[in-house]
Chains A and B, each alone.
Chain A
Amino acid sequence: MTVNKMTAAQVARKVIENKELFILDVRNTDAYEDWKIEGHKFDYLNIPYFNLLDGVEEIIDKIPADKEVLVVCAKEGSSLMVAEMISDAGRDAFYLEGGMKSWSMYLEPIKVGELANGGELYQFVRLGKGCLSYMAISEGEAAIIDAVRFTDVFTNFAEEKGVEIKHVFDTHLHADHISGGRHIAEQTGAAYYLPPKDAEEVVYEYTPLTEGLTVTLGASQIEVGALYSPGHTIGSTSFVIDSQYLLTGDILFIDSIGRPDLAGLAEDWVSDLRETLYTRYRELAEDLVVLPAHFMIIEELNEDGTVAKRLGDLFAENHGLNIEDEAEFRKTVTDNLPPQPNAYQQIRQVNMGKITPHNDELTEMEIGPNRCAVR
């Protein structure tokens, strides 16, 4: 039988289109339990490759014959070996090209909606890591928000759309993934904006992103306006685009809220987080569509693969927005926090420009789930 490769892009389509897939994950059990490919209709079996060196006869009955089978490992080599064994045992199998490493890096651009006068807003969904980046375009100009480090994806997309990148923003100094923001700005001549309160230690030039700052895109003057919304970090800033969309960064997610501890100051920032979620956001129009910088679980994806929900609905449904008692809120966001993201302190140093590791090291730092939220 045959062995074929499946790319991260093909797996992403299966997630978004609600397709079935049987994943045989051959990484060691700790790695699998920590982080895996999530799909609405995916089934899983985890057996480390080093337990399959004598062949797959003992497990072949656990692999369904009526589904596509994808073998997954960290970098590709072991999944190819196991896929070949399955093929030798008389079954078709796929292996994941580039392994979890390529899954972690793959971005799927999805249109979120229309802006006034023919403008468009795109969400770049990094399924393997749960990161969400944005590009707003209007009449030849583009603004990017929370770009991940694969700068080509954004510059190529802008080129395809025939738009010039004018403004590049980060809602805050990220701790879970490496920002591509300032590199895109360097390549394109765009302005790079960062909240000054998050940027006290950065070693590069930037434009301060402060409350009330607005930029406009194209002749139709699509407005991108900044709203100071601290709590995940002290500088965290949200954006309102075209009076329709609220980009919340890592402050508010679909099914959870931001955690205040990744810069080591949980206790200090709890009251900021509460103020942002329970006062500042309450003053906004409930019809704004919330677009966060992350998702944590696959259930947060809409049917078209986007991660977006009306603010009013989140006020009604998101547990983190419905904790009336302040002491209980404080307890929720400071006690029993999930483990911190992999290498988060190093990632902050990279985003400050203090260290510049080579590409392989950056990939290693970003391995694993993002964990920026509290449920």
Chain B
Amino acid sequence: MKVTKTLDAKGFACPMPIVKTKKAIDSINSGDVLEVLVTDKGALNDFAAWAKGGGHTILEQKEAAGVLTFYIQKA
């Protein structure tokens, strides 16, 4: 998996992780992959629902030491 862009949204509370992710997605091309790092646990369900709504694909998500990492492929 080739990551086009990385967004560090650690420490930000809802709604900022999604707001920043949307901006970052708008700045990359279709098919590109955005890596997002967040610490807000609420992001888990919200990212899945947001990506589905926009047609984007979450290729992978993982959690380590309290940090959630999402790999989102732009539709």
A-side residues, CB < 8 A to B, are 28-31, 48-51, 53, 73-75, 77-78, 81, 364
Q: Name the interface size band of chain B.
A: 10 to 19
- Residues of chain A contacted by B22 (CB below 8 angstroms): 50, 53
The CA of A243 and the CA of B57, in the complex, are separated in Å by 63
Provide the B9-46 mask, 1 if CB < 8 A to any CB of A, else 0.
00001111011001000000000000000000110011
Question: B45 contacts A30, CB within 8 Å?
Answer: yes
The CA of A31 and the CA of B13, in the complex, are separated in Å by 18
Question: B14 contacts A78, CB within 8 Å?
Answer: yes
22 sampled A-B residue pairs with Cβ under 8 A = A48-B53, A49-B14, A49-B18, A50-B15, A50-B18, A50-B46, A50-B49, A50-B50, A51-B50, A51-B53, A53-B19, A74-B14, A74-B42, A75-B14, A77-B13, A77-B14, A77-B15, A77-B16, A78-B14, A81-B15, A81-B19, A364-B41
In the complex, how many angstroms separate the beta carbon of B61 from the nearest chain A beta carbon?
16
The CA of A50 and the CA of B41, in the complex, are separated in Å by 16
Nearest B residue (CB) for A73 = B14
Nearest B residue (CB) for A31 = B45
Contact of A48 among B13, B16, B46 (CB under 8 A): B46
Nearest B residue (CB) for A75 = B14
In the complex, how many angstroms separate the beta carbon of B16 from the nearest chain A beta carbon?
7
Nearest B residue (CB) for A49 = B15
The CA of A28 and the CA of B14, in the complex, are separated in Å by 12
The CA of A50 and the CA of B20, in the complex, are separated in Å by 11
- Residues of chain B contacted by A73 (CB below 8 angstroms): 14-15
The CA of A22 and the CA of B9, in the complex, are separated in Å by 33
- Residues of chain B contacted by A78 (CB below 8 angstroms): 14-15
The CA of A29 and the CA of B14, in the complex, are separated in Å by 16
Interface of A is mostly: helix
Question: B16 contacts A50, CB within 8 Å?
Answer: no
- Residues of chain A contacted by B18 (CB below 8 angstroms): 49-50, 53
The CA of A31 and the CA of B41, in the complex, are separated in Å by 14
The CA of A31 and the CA of B45, in the complex, are separated in Å by 9
The CA of A49 and the CA of B46, in the complex, are separated in Å by 9
- Residues of chain B contacted by A30 (CB below 8 angstroms): 45, 49
The CA of A369 and the CA of B56, in the complex, are separated in Å by 32
Nearest A residue (CB) for B51 = A50
Question: B49 contacts A28, CB within 8 Å?
Answer: yes
Question: B49 contacts A29, CB within 8 Å?
Answer: yes
In the complex, how many angstroms separate the beta carbon of A362 from the nearest chain B beta carbon?
15
Question: B42 contacts A48, CB within 8 Å?
Answer: no
Nearest A residue (CB) for B16 = A77
The CA of A364 and the CA of B42, in the complex, are separated in Å by 11
Question: A75 contacts B19, CB within 8 Å?
Answer: no
Question: A75 contacts B13, CB within 8 Å?
Answer: yes
Nearest A residue (CB) for B48 = A28
- Residues of chain A contacted by B19 (CB below 8 angstroms): 53, 81
> Contacts A53-B18, A78-B15 given; 16 further ones with Cβ under 8 A?
A28-B45, A28-B46, A29-B49, A31-B45, A48-B49, A48-B50, A48-B53, A49-B15, A50-B15, A50-B53, A53-B19, A53-B22, A73-B14, A75-B13, A77-B13, A77-B14
- Residues of chain A contacted by B16 (CB below 8 angstroms): 77
- Residues of chain B contacted by A51 (CB below 8 angstroms): 50, 53
In the complex, how many angstroms separate the beta carbon of B47 from the nearest chain A beta carbon?
9
- Residues of chain A contacted by B53 (CB below 8 angstroms): 48, 50-51
In the complex, how many angstroms separate the beta carbon of A102 from the nearest chain B beta carbon?
15
